[in-house]
Structure 1
Amino acid sequence: MLLEVSYALDTFYFLMSGLLVMWMAAGFTMLESGLVRSKNTVEILTKNIGLYSIACIMYMLVGYNIMYGDSSSSIIPGLSFLVSGDNSVADVVAGGEDAPYYSNISDFFFQVVFVATAMSIISGAVAERMKLWTFFIFAVVMTGFIYPIQGYWSWGEGFLDDLGYMDYAGSGIVHMAGATAALAAVLLLGPRKGKYGPDGQVNPIPGANMPLATLGTFILWMGWFGFNGGSELKVSDVESANAVAMVFANTNLAAAGGVVAGLITARLLFGKADLTMGLNGALAGLVAITAGPDTPSMLLATIIGAVGGTIVVFSIVALDKLRIDDPVGAISVHGVVGIWGLLAVLLSNSDATLTGQLVGIVCIFGFVFVASLIVWLILKVTMGIRVDEEMEYQGMDLAECGLEAYPEFTGSAVSRK
């Protein structure tokens, strides 16, 4: 009876953690919608709900089995189709050392919202100039194959796991992977029209809705408790419960440290408390702690987040100087700070090694970048990846989706009467 209660509790905790991570999809949607111009809002909304749905279906069809299925190689995963509905309840009731302590289907649900998170990162970086259906086709490949293959190398007990690579909840596996695929796309896409001028001039393109962007950040902050907390995988014994409490506290403090550091850094560099840098500072702190939220003290977690919040400001400025246009700062937040998060594990986890972390960074970045670049190139040659100049100028909402987010402010509603 006690085993059954433990099984039910851990399954419920897993599902509720997955639910919080699913809610992060709303956070990404609101954040991106707030940081783009109003003429591209509906396209952003469509893209986010579309990518989430594609990720769920592709991970069910093939992705989950690639990442966690049987394989005779630690590098090349196996390939099989459709997630099994077997929960192995009989084994749980019977007990035994190898009995699972939560439902297998709850594990699938928890993992599928992670792959959707990785795809959401790409959405923000390519905003305001990528063709909608090109993006959706890439989402099929990314969530069904690219993400699961590199995930297999570590969480699926592949060669990175054998080397001692440590990434508790996915600073590299989820965040850096998503940012890497985004970088490959942005390099092929080029910047938005008017973003850069001669002699290194950078022209700000303000977002349409800062309250919405701030709401999105708070939603992501909240969802991250499921992202990191759920990665403990169970909560039904004293040790696991204490670990979950520490993960929650460290996740929260890292985000807070990132906000404060981001605002201070922006004040020193620009003379203003830049809200967007504060928001990205929060996300940077969260990404930074994700690789190892279970081992630092609360003070160290705050410092790790603060370093992330500082790095992200300098990274965003540096990418602009390189004329790499990322409307929401996704590459800096999830990629550059993701690398910092993987290295920060060494500060508090004696089992982690510099070699293991560096090999993991290089392998994940190298594979995802090359694979993504190939797919983006194929899409560019066959159907194009960027909208034409007129569509970009007019906005993608009407051209791609046939409606506007705020028609009463543009006069379109009146003109159609």
Structure 2
Amino acid sequence: MTIHTVSSGLDTIWVVLTAAMILLMEGGFALLEAGFVRHKNNVNIIMKVFADITIGTLCYYLIGFGLMYGNDFLGLIGTDGFMLANHPSHLNLHISLDTFWLFQAAFVIAVISIVSGAVAERINFRAYLLFVVLMTALIYPIAGHWVWGSGWLGKLGMEDFAGSAVIHTLGGFSALAAAIFIGPRKGKLTPEGTSTVALPSNLPLASVGAFLLWFGWFGFNAGSTLSATDGRIGHIAIVTMLSAAAGGATTLIYTLFRYHRSDAPSVINGSLAGLVGITAGCAFVSDQVAILIGAVSGLLMMFATNWLEARRIDDPVGAFPVHAVSGIWGTIAVGLFAKDGGLFTGGGWHLLIIQILGLAILSLWGFALTWLGLKVIQLWIPVRATEEEEEVGLDISYHGMIAAYREHDFINHEDRYIKYQEDDIESN
């Protein structure tokens, strides 16, 4: 057995395990979003996450991976590697193509889950399924090719180690477009047109979801080394921890002094904002800079949340403030503080300018393609649930479930949907 064989085996184990950690983040998304929305929509949240991980995986295997990592055409798109039929020559992997694909598939599922939360409680489930196909087969893979798949932004020198821009900014602007397109939830705006605060249904559930996301983020960032022997793994892990802690601590202190109470949803999202912010630069910045990135991410998340409320844009879980705004800051921070090439570390303006250019392109792509995609979907299927469906809840409307939590009983299989509907009528 050669050293190369041992190293390759260790790398494979590392990448598979970190891919599994990222996939576990889907449980985090499910619990976080379910905790932030009303009980009558909890099952719908879960089913959307299952759609992300099932339909999204298949679409990425069939189409998305080839567009993202296939051999480059004019810096714009990949042209082969569909269904892993061949090995794109430019990848130069020291792990198997199957292993690399698994890790990348975990990423694409995370992108669509960002959008899921922004349209919670009012999107037509069938329309959402079509959007999952669009995001995982086209929108994200093409943008990912520009940065990570030997496309034009990568060739210009854009740095995004684990996805503050490619995953979170893109996903966050897609979420913003979807939230604006579909409109606010019924009851979110008063008759006078002012925005109200929707109280979370289960904060302990949401907090467990956040902790699962936090755990999975170590796989998200450290796993992006694609090597178990990469000496940066420990540093990547500690800056990930420090940034998340700084984001949560900043929002805890801010809300304590600003509102005279420490607001739990804000602290949860502040920690997640810190995680998003450090994702681009986790391999490039110091411990102290990571704390700064996390703290600023938390504050920016709070300001962006208030900005959405002031403009009557309904984002039930804070997808845009957490992912897009923090992702933008984290990507810019690389241009400012990267040990190699940062403006404040002697590298000049080049990297910062490229980072800003890449952010502008990815933000516009995510927003515009989402808006256009929903417009096309609307031609066949209403994108928004009907008023009646929204009123009784999407659980009963789309999944035949009166509630996510109920006492156990036995009924005939063919009668179960009728029984759920009868229970819903009686309860209302």
TM-score by length of 2: 0.90
Report the Cα distance in structure 1 between the residues aligned to 2:332 and 2:257, rounded to whole angstroms: 26
Structure 2 counterpart of 1:101, which letter?
A: H
Give the structure 1 partner of residue 165 of structure 2.
172
- Checking the alignment, whether the CA contact within 8 Å between 2:70 and 2:88 is kept in structure 1 is no
Give the structure 2 partner of residue 269 of structure 1.
258
Give the structure 2 partner of residue 140 of structure 1.
133
Give the structure 2 partner of residue 333 of structure 1.
322
Unaligned runs of 5+ in 2: 343-350, 409-419
Structure 1 counterpart of 2:7, which letter?
A: S
- Checking the alignment, whether the CA contact within 8 Å between 1:74 and 1:153 is kept in structure 2 is yes
- Checking the alignment, whether the CA contact within 8 Å between 1:195 and 1:203 is kept in structure 2 is yes
TM-score by length of 1: 0.92
Report the Cα distance in structure 2 between the residues aligned to 1:414 and 1:70, rounded to whole angstroms: 56
CA distance 1:374–1:9, shift in 2 (3 Å): same
Give the structure 1 partner of residue 406 of structure 2.
407
Structure 2 counterpart of 1:351, which letter?
A: G
Is residue 61 of structure 1 aligned with residue 62 of structure 2? Answer: yes
Residue pairs, 1:92-241, within 5 angstroms: 100-198=93-191, 201-236=194-229, 240-241=230-231
Report the Cα distance in structure 1 between the residues aligned to 2:144 and 2:80, rounded to whole angstroms: 14
* CA distances 1:92-142 after superposition (whole Å, capped 9, x unpaired): xxxxxx963212211000000000000000000000000111001110011
- Checking the alignment, whether the CA contact within 8 Å between 1:196 and 1:323 is kept in structure 2 is yes
Q: Which stretch of the first structure deviates more once superposed, 173-182 or 30-39?
A: 173-182
* CA distances 1:182-208 after superposition (whole Å, capped 9, x unpaired): 111111111011112255632221121
Is residue 302 of structure 1 aligned with residue 295 of structure 2? Answer: no
- Checking the alignment, whether the CA contact within 8 Å between 1:47 and 1:123 is kept in structure 2 is yes
Report the Cα distance in structure 1 between the residues aligned to 2:86 and 2:44, rounded to whole angstroms: 35
Other structure's SS at 1:141 match:
helix
Report the Cα distance in structure 1 between the residues aligned to 2:74 and 2:131, rounded to whole angstroms: 27
Out of 387, 390, 393, which is 1:392 matched to? 390
Unaligned runs of 5+ in 1: 89-97
Report the Cα distance in structure 1 between the residues aligned to 2:155 and 2:3, rounded to whole angstroms: 34
* CA distances 1:199-255 after superposition (whole Å, capped 9, x unpaired): 56322211211110000000000000000001112122xxx23x0000000001100
Residue pairs, 1:283-322, within 5 angstroms: 283-322=272-311
Is residue 49 of structure 1 aligned with residue 50 of structure 2? Answer: yes
Aligned length: 403
Q: Which stretch of the first structure deviates more once superposed, 342-351 or 116-125?
A: 342-351
Q: Which stretch of the first structure deviates more once superposed, 403-412 or 3-12?
A: 403-412
Displacement after TM superposition at 1:53 (Å): 0.9
Structure 2 counterpart of 1:256, which letter?
A: A
Report the Cα distance in structure 2 between the residues aligned to 1:72 and 1:10, rounded to whole angstroms: 30
Displacement after TM superposition at 1:80 (Å): 5.6
Cα RMSD over matched residues? 2.1
* CA distances 1:323-376 after superposition (whole Å, capped 9, x unpaired): 110000011100111100101112331325111101101111112221111110
* % identical equivalent positions: 38
Structure 2 counterpart of 1:355, which letter?
A: I
Report the Cα distance in structure 2 between the residues aligned to 1:154 and 1:115, rounded to whole angstroms: 14
Q: Which stretch of the first structure deviates more once superposed, 261-270 or 148-157?
A: 261-270
Report the Cα distance in structure 2 between the residues aligned to 1:413 and 1:205, rounded to whole angstroms: 22
Report the Cα distance in structure 2 between the residues aligned to 1:317 and 1:156, rounded to whole angstroms: 36
